[in-house]
Chain A
Amino acid sequence: MHRECLRQLDDILSRHDKNRSALIPVIQEAQELFGYLPREALLKVAAHLGVPASAVYGVATFYAQFYLTPRGRHRVKVCQGTACHVRGGRSVLEAVKKQLGVGPGETTPDQKFTLERVACVGSCSLAPVVLVDEKILGGMTPDKVSRLTKASTVKERMRGRAFKIKMVFKIPAAHTALFKETPAHAGKPMPQPAFYSAIGQKQL
């Protein structure tokens, strides 16, 4: 797996210019590939771009986005922006911490969740906000947090697979996304309804 990823890193490197400005985009893509930034990958990037390894390490540790240790399969980000803060974001973070049993920046021992605290995700009208992978869950309370993660682990044990289940607990519709394997619209352009062209152009 790791070796395969290192091979794919060559593809990434070949797609970018061979100079320093490519450093951040390259390690962003590398992180997407590995899930984090392993030492070998950073050394390889440094050698390829002709940038000292120390400088690559410097960049990788400066920006909050980069991780030097493996992360969980799902990232739970708890927003700590101003609007979330005044609406109780702190207690939501405490509840998530308690639920997952890890602190911000840490990963659960089963490699399932990494907890992150983020400054603001720009969805202040939904405060307090928690992101599971790319999906935004608004209007969180400590109570909702415990119910959500509990529901997912119970079902996971039953089916042996995470996040591929329909919801059984009565929770607001917006939160059901937590149970999907991948976020519905992550990284894709804004989806138009399949019928859009038919309706927009053809006189129905």
Chain B
Amino acid sequence: MGKLTSVEELASLRAKIQSSQDSNRMRITVCGDTGCRANGSIEVARELARELAKCRPQTAVELKISGCPGFCQKGPVVLVHPPGIFYREVGRENRRRDAYDIIDKTVIGGGVVERLLYTDPHTKKTIANYDDVPFRARQMRIALQNNGRVNPDSIEDYIAVGGYAALARVLTMDPEEVIDQVKRSGLRGRGGAGFPTGVKWALCRKAEDRSMRYVICNGDEGDPGAFMDRSLMEGDPHSLVEGLTIGAYAIARGICPAEGHFYIRAEYPFAVQTIRCALKQAENMGLLGDNIIGTDFSFHVRVKEGAGAFVCGEETALIASIEGRRGMPRTRPPFPAQSGLWGKPTNINNVETWANIPRIINNGPEWYAGIGTEKSKGTKVFSLAGKVRNCGLIEVPMGTTLREIVFDIGGGIPDGKEVKAVQTGGPSGGCIPAELLDLPVDYEKLAEAGSIMGSGGLVVLDEETCMVDIARYFLEFTRSESCGKCNPCRLGIRQMHRIVEDICAGKGRPGDIELLEELAVAVKKGSLCGLGQTAPNPVLTTIKYFRDEYEEHVLRRRCPAKKCPGLFGYEINEETCKGCGLCLKHCPAGAVTGELKQPHVIDTEKCTGCGACFEKCAFKAIRKV
């Protein structure tokens, strides 16, 4: 296919693709995202293809591998459209049998495979349609709308669902009008800080230097516990390419040439591959590169791979990294909008922000502004993980409460445990306690609670999680990721980590908690970039909401969650102990005594609390006390 030279050609191509895709024809989509792939979804797809090929009488069925529909916990996920049947955990036990049944019962028979359906844990009823599954039903998918619908490696698929229509429309608009629409939509940066996107664009457009503009898609998703950017890049790359091109048009059109960059994290090799492939396809179709869709607007995009540094998610550090230097942030101003990459005005937005742009142009800014809360518009994608039944990628309108997210969508906590806190915003965020679960999630409300929106990692913590240990974990992370430029960050976090480590080891001293608070303020005030300014947040919020837990560690040398080794003991339940002798054999301290076939006893004096007996016991007779 040659390059598209006019909007009409794009429209007729879309009509052509759509007419070739009979909407009544059955479509089987297999999730090809990292999570499902690790569970063997590609093999499931092969097996389905094999079974389809054997079908007699022959049936017209389309089989494709798509991006993430979201329900990663239940992968591999297979969807059959119409009517939208949701099969979970396909092929985990027997790939061939599952594939055979799906083809036999659903494709040929028109029924469902009961055993592969999702079962509601509360009502114990099976649910056939994906839209009725509570996990899906309570979501509102805008940024993720194409994830799980289109084949990420096919530009035709994307065009068929209305892709590049927003770009075609923008190319006829005045750039100022495009910026105005983004402003009116109320979209704010989804990378964490929440700066209004339209304002950012306008600043960059107005910059004095009129020789070059750079637009960058920040795909350096470093927050542990966040994976929405990866899923978007792997599942719907063309939306990002389209969004980035629209941004470049709005910022540079009529002023100077523009160049784009995708900065993608080194840990996401597959996202790099998908984006590269999408860029090439768009270029071949004339939707990117020189003279886009026959206009005189040209825009080229390059892919830059990160090299493994969390701090490169910060704008100025990211720019330094693209320039081939150590990824260390610099002072602002000048802001990147005035002087960024190679000293030229630069606009950087997060992956999710770019994904929202085509939707806003297509549906109008008022539609977008009608969703969400007063100051936070639209939806937010969260990666729900941790101690929750339904892990996965979710998208909800701003203002949805944490309770709805954790219980209605997440399905609550497994194993009958209680929720203790929700960690948002990764190492820059904080822990929100269970009492505040009715907090509506938006930028302001989370900040009031001492946390931040961040890029959208949402890790649920249950009663077995020690909050001091969580603080220690994040400090360990920020300590090793601090670039070392500012002393308060480099040394302050190190000292804080040392204190918290001591507390976890039972070596805390009275006054440690106050010292931590004092250090936290110093690190916050004395650091240049977001990493240092927010690194103390996990400590401050855990002290604020779980001070008693810290005190328990320091004053009584006890870990209430029974997590910190040495701060709790083990005990053998006489009734369930069978006297097998396994714990006795594995105890390195010789603290277990007892006769064979008689209940054993742990000598608390000798016990070092290593937990070897606890792990080895086959009868769950050993409990933590």
Hey, which chain A residues are within 8 Å of B305, CB to CB?
24-25, 28
Hey, which chain A residues are within 8 Å of B474, CB to CB?
82
Hey, which chain B residues are within 8 Å of A80, CB to CB?
224, 477
User: Cβ of B326 < 8 Å from any Cβ of A?
Assistant: yes
B52 touching A195 by the CB < 8 A rule? yes
A87 touching B266 by the CB < 8 A rule? no
User: Cβ of B186 < 8 Å from any Cβ of A?
Assistant: no
B307 touching A65 by the CB < 8 A rule? yes
User: Cβ of B268 < 8 Å from any Cβ of A?
Assistant: yes
A62 touching B225 by the CB < 8 A rule? no
A122/B323 contact (C-beta < 8 A), A136-B34, A174-B40 known? no
Residue on B with the closest CB to A176? B40
Chain A 172-200, CB-CB to B under 8 Å as 1, else 0, gives: 01100000000011111111111110111
A87 touching B387 by the CB < 8 A rule? yes
Hey, which chain B residues are within 8 Å of A162, CB to CB?
none
Q: Which of A28, A86, A185 contacts B307 (CB 8 A)?
A: A28
A187 touching B392 by the CB < 8 A rule? no
**Partner-binding segment picked from A15-23, A68-76, A107-115:** A15-23
Residue on B with the closest CB to A116? B308
Hey, which chain B residues are within 8 Å of A169, CB to CB?
none
Residue on A with the closest CB to B392? A125
B38 touching A138 by the CB < 8 A rule? yes
Interface centre among B39, B307, B423, B470 (most CB of A within 10 A): B307
A82 touching B35 by the CB < 8 A rule? no
Q: Could you tell me the distance in whole angstroms from the C-beta of A191 to the nearest C-beta in chain B?
A: 6
Number of interface residues of B (CB under 8 A): 83
Q: Could you tell me the distance in whole angstroms from the C-beta of B563 to the nearest C-beta in chain A?
A: 10
Hey, which chain B residues are within 8 Å of A194, CB to CB?
46, 49
Q: Could you tell me the distance in whole angstroms from the C-beta of A90 to the nearest C-beta in chain B?
A: 9
Q: Could you tell me the distance in whole angstroms from the C-beta of A16 to the nearest C-beta in chain B?
A: 10
Q: Which of A119, A121, A196 contacts B310 (CB 8 A)?
A: A119
A125 touching B75 by the CB < 8 A rule? yes
Q: How far is the CA of A98 from the CA of B304 in the complex (A)?
A: 37
User: Cβ of A64 < 8 Å from any Cβ of B?
Assistant: yes
Hey, which chain A residues are within 8 Å of B52, CB to CB?
195, 199, 204
Residue on A with the closest CB to B465? A86
Chain B 448-474, CB-CB to A under 8 Å as 1, else 0, gives: 000000000101010001000010011
Q: Which of B38, B152, B224 contacts A126 (CB 8 A)?
A: B38
User: Cβ of B373 < 8 Å from any Cβ of A?
Assistant: no
Q: Which of A19, A24, A85, A121 contacts B267 (CB 8 A)?
A: A121
User: Cβ of A134 < 8 Å from any Cβ of B?
Assistant: yes
Interface of B is mostly: mixed
* Contacts between the two chains (Cβ within 8 Å), count: 202
Q: Which of A83, A187, A204 contacts B269 (CB 8 A)?
A: A187
A58 touching B391 by the CB < 8 A rule? no
Q: How far is the CA of A131 from the CA of B309 in the complex (A)?
A: 19
User: Cβ of A127 < 8 Å from any Cβ of B?
Assistant: yes
A59 touching B326 by the CB < 8 A rule? yes
**Partner-binding segment picked from B54-62, B359-367, B493-501:** B54-62
Residue on B with the closest CB to A134? B269
User: Cβ of A137 < 8 Å from any Cβ of B?
Assistant: yes
Residue on B with the closest CB to A198? B53
Q: How far is the CA of A55 from the CA of B62 in the complex (A)?
A: 53
Q: How far is the CA of A191 from the CA of B32 in the complex (A)?
A: 9
User: Cβ of B223 < 8 Å from any Cβ of A?
Assistant: yes
Hey, which chain B residues are within 8 Å of A186, CB to CB?
269
Hey, which chain A residues are within 8 Å of B37, CB to CB?
136, 185
Q: Could you tell me the distance in whole angstroms from the C-beta of A91 to the nearest C-beta in chain B?
A: 8
B386 touching A87 by the CB < 8 A rule? yes
Hey, which chain B residues are within 8 Å of A137, CB to CB?
38
User: Cβ of B556 < 8 Å from any Cβ of A?
Assistant: no
Interface centre among A51, A63, A125, A204 (most CB of B within 10 A): A125
User: Cβ of A142 < 8 Å from any Cβ of B?
Assistant: yes
Hey, which chain B residues are within 8 Å of A99, CB to CB?
none
Number of interface residues of A (CB under 8 A): 61
Q: Which of A65, A87, A119, A203 contacts B58 (CB 8 A)?
A: A203
A125 touching B46 by the CB < 8 A rule? no
A204/B322 contact (C-beta < 8 A), A126-B38, A174-B40 known? no
A195 touching B321 by the CB < 8 A rule? no
Q: Which of B35, B62, B324, B326 contacts A123 (CB 8 A)?
A: B35
User: Cβ of B274 < 8 Å from any Cβ of A?
Assistant: yes
Within 119-153 of A, Cβ neighbours of B (below 8 Å) are at: 119-127, 134-138, 142-143
Hey, which chain B residues are within 8 Å of A34, CB to CB?
none
User: Cβ of B227 < 8 Å from any Cβ of A?
Assistant: yes
Residue on A with the closest CB to B52? A199
A124 touching B227 by the CB < 8 A rule? yes
Within 152-174 of B, Cβ neighbours of A (below 8 Å) are at: 152-153
Hey, which chain B residues are within 8 Å of A55, CB to CB?
325
Hey, which chain B residues are within 8 Å of A58, CB to CB?
326
User: Cβ of B409 < 8 Å from any Cβ of A?
Assistant: no
User: Cβ of A102 < 8 Å from any Cβ of B?
Assistant: no
Q: How far is the CA of A28 from the CA of B102 in the complex (A)?
A: 44
A126/B35 contact (C-beta < 8 A), A65-B266, A192-B64, A204-B58 known? yes
Q: Could you tell me the distance in whole angstroms from the C-beta of B270 to the nearest C-beta in chain A?
A: 8
Q: How far is the CA of A142 from the CA of B62 in the complex (A)?
A: 42
B309 touching A193 by the CB < 8 A rule? no
Q: How far is the CA of A186 from the CA of B226 in the complex (A)?
A: 22
Nearest 10 pairs of A and B residues by beta carbon: A125-B72, A64-B308, A124-B385, A122-B227, A63-B307, A125-B391, A81-B224, A82-B225, A83-B385, A23-B324
Residues of B within 8 A of A (CB): 32, 34-35, 37-40, 42, 45-46, 48-50, 52-53, 55, 58-65, 72-73, 75, 92, 95, 151-153, 221-227, 230-231, 266-270, 273-274, 277, 304-310, 321-328, 383, 385-387, 391-392, 423, 426, 457, 459, 461, 465, 470, 473-474, 477, 481, 483, 615
Enumerate 27 A-B pairs (CB-CB under 8 Å) in ascending A order.
A22-B324, A24-B307, A24-B321, A24-B324, A63-B306, A63-B307, A63-B308, A65-B307, A80-B477, A83-B385, A87-B387, A120-B226, A122-B221, A122-B231, A125-B75, A125-B385, A134-B269, A142-B615, A173-B95, A185-B270, A189-B153, A190-B270, A193-B63, A195-B49, A195-B52, A199-B49, A204-B58
Known: A19-B324, A192-B64. 7 other contacts (CB 8 A): A59-B324, A62-B326, A86-B386, A122-B267, A126-B38, A190-B270, A199-B61
